[in-house]
């Protein structure tokens, strides 16, 4: 094994501090300390396999529910190929910030804050201007991934076994170099050249047990446990000849990091820029900790296959909390906002069947927090769904709607969107009884009025903003023979929608309406049950030759609720297979 120079004996690099390793592995090197993972090193590491047991080291992509540094969280869009190609196939589209869960910091993540240089002299502006993939994580994969001997230094376990007591991982507690050495000795770990150091600080255990309020407070303050920011830490990492480091905390060093303060030591710069050393953050070291305790050994065979990103030129993304701009605003892709409803609190009336159920099922996929109201019993597919409450509500009763909104706010803390979807469409035929007239208007108009006004007052309490989508009908845009009262009611819904949109626009409240055509829903089936041939005849009469499906109409509602429609209000969106083309 080649003997490496100590930190103070490294050859000097012009314009860089002592200890900088640019050029040490060659002027064109892009993998830094991963050069220590030679075939001999990996072969010796294979001897660590003894029991054959293994542990995964990553958290789910959506594990961390709070934004860290205003970074975008996981957004998922599920593509249903039944409507696209008549196939029972689902595809997933995922959009996430690579820093939002378990990850490796690559060598074009953090540059020197003084002059903007990455490892081995790559300029900050060259990453996007004329980048050819230099310093990308794909270089790690081209050499075979990260494979070697891993060692775990378990800080909370060490403190517990040495009767020191635990520390608060949600605070700026600094782990010293002396403690790193003491942990290695305690766990009988002899640190070897090319080792991959995993440091369990206890942060993820703290996070998993903390309340949402505690998490938010700590994350906003950016106060996290980590290794002390000192030249002693810098020298220790190099002199131990570590190949890579990773931790369960948001950063390897104690936070907040003193970015841009030249009088302070920033370990991120030393690890990533000066050494070219991969740095893992937010790793799941809990199962590994248990496994090491059970076997009473803290070294193991380690493998990692980082994200295979070739670093091709991409549009510049400028993060401005809490919004994200992607190049010029007019070039923003609506796909970036497809799942802007994740975590939003959305209320849906008439959610037990038909279009309403389709809307709820879409919201479940998008991981919204959902409140469903219906006069019918809760359907089986909506039972035991996380972040979903189901309430029997007669929307024609203002008191019941008011109590429902109060229940929503008590459960979820706010309201972000209201889908006033409940309706009835009994076949009228000729003259309608006063009782049926009153019932149709009570549900289809008064119900929308109650839901819209209750949502408005809740939005006002929250400081404005919010989206309302009222379900009207194609019958609200034209006359339909035999449905005089229903058509009049749906015309009224459109009138309410457009007037509310005018009245509430300056308060940031958007109000739109969905105008479905013939749809394969329970309400339509009930309407035409006594005329078996009517549905097929009417459906085949649409330009698309069929009736709509609830999930197709639900997609339109998702659009109107989400951030892709932030400049859309007072609009009536026809979703009818082209039926209105000739109207």
Q: Given the structure tokens 């089986």, which residue do they identify? A: 380
Do 33 and 279 touch, CB atoms closer than 8 A?
no
Token pair of 572, please? 């009536």
Look at residues 255, 274, 246, 265 and name the one whose alpha carbon lies nearest to residue 102: 246
Cβ-count burial 216-249 (b if 16+ within 10 Å, e if not): eebbeeebbbbbbbbeebbbbbbeebbbbbbbbb
From CA 215, how far away is CA 209, in angstroms rounded? 10
Q: Give catalytic status of residue 486 as yes or no.
A: yes
Look at residues 63, 99, 95 and name the one whose alpha carbon lies nearest to residue 78: 95
Strand duo 509-516 + 466-471: pairing:
parallel
From CA 438, how far away is CA 443, in angstroms rounded? 9
Helix-then-strand count for the chain, H and E: 19, 19
Strand duo 317-320 + 369-374: pairing:
unpaired
Q: Given the structure tokens 């035991």, which residue do they identify? A: 384
Do 452 and 498 touch, CB atoms closer than 8 A?
no
Catalytic residue among 117, 119, 456, 486: 486
* Residues near 290 by beta carbon (within 8 Å), at least 6 away in sequence: none
Q: Given the structure tokens 């799942």, which residue do they identify? A: 339
Positions annotated as catalytic residues are: 486
């Amino acid at each position: 094994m080649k003997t490496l120079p100590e930190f103070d004996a490294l050859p000097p690099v012009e314009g860089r501090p002592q200890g900088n390793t640019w050029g040490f592995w060659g002027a064109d090197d892009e993998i830094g300390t991963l050069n220590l993972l030679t075939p001999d090193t990996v072969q010796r590491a294979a001897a660590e396999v003894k029991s054959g047991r293994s542990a995964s080291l990553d958290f789910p992509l959506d594990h961390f529910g709070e934004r860290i540094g205003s970074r975008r969280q996981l957004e998922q869009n599920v593509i249903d190929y039944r409507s696209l190609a008549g196939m029972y196939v689902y595809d997933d589209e995922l959009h996430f910030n690579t820093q939002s869960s378990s990850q490796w910091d690559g060598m074009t993540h953090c540059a020197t804050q003084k002059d903007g240089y990455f490892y081995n002299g790559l300029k900050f502006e060259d990453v996007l201007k004329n980048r050819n993939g230099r310093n990308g994580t794909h270089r790690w994969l081209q050499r075979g991934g990260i494979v070697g001997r891993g060692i775990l230094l378990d800080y909370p376990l060490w403190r517990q076994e040495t009767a020191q007591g635990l520390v608060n991982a949600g605070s700026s507690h600094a782990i010293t170099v002396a403690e790193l050495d003491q942990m290695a000795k305690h766990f009988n770990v002899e640190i070897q050249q090319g080792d991959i150091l995993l440091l369990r600080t206890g942060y993820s255990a703290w996070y998993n047990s903390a309340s949402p309020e505690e998490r938010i407070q700590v994350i906003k303050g950016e106060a996290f446990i980590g290794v002390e920011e000192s030249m002693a830490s810098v020298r220790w990492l190099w002199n131990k000849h570590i190949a890579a480091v990773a931790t369960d905390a948001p950063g390897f060093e104690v936070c907040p990091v003193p970015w841009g303060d030249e009088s302070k030591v920033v370990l991120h710069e030393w690890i990533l820029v000066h050494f070219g050393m991969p740095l893992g953050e937010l790793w799941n070291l809990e199962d590994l900790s248990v496994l090491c305790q059970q076997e009473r050994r803290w070294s193991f065979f380690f493998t990692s296959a980082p994200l295979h990103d070739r670093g091709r030129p991409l549009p510049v993304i400028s993060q401005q909390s809490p919004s994200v701009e992607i190049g010029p605003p007019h070039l923003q892709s609506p796909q970036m906002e497809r799942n802007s409803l994740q975590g939003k609190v959305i209320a849906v009336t008439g959610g037990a069947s038909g279009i309403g159920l389709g809307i709820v099922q879409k919201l479940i996929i998008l991981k919204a927090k959902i409140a469903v109201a219906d006069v019918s019993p809760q359907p089986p597919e909506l039972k035991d769904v996380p972040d979903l409450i189901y309430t029997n509500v007669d929307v024609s009763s203002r008191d019941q709607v008011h109590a429902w909104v109060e229940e929503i706010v008590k459960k979820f803390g706010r309201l972000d969107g209201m889908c006033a979807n409940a309706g009835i469409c009994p076949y009228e035929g000729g003259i309608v009884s006063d009782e049926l007239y009153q019932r149709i208007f009570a549900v289809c108009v008064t119900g929308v009025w109650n839901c819209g006004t209750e949502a408005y007052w809740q939005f006002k309490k929250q400081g404005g903003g919010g989206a309302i989508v009222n379900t009207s009908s194609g019958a609200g845009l034209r006359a339909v023979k035999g449905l005089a009262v229903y058509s009049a009611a749906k015309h009224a819904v459109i009138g309410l929608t457009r007037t509310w949109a005018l009245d509430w626009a300056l308060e940031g409240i958007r109000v739109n309406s969905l105008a479905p055509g013939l749809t394969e829903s329970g309400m339509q089936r009930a309407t035409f049950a006594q005329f078996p041939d009517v549905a097929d005849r009417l459906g085949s009469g649409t330009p698309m030759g069929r009736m709509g499906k609830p999930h197709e109409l639900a997609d339109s509602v998702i659009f109107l609720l989400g951030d892709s429609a932030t400049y859309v209000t007072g609009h009536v969106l026809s979703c009818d297979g082209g039926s209105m083309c000739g109207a």
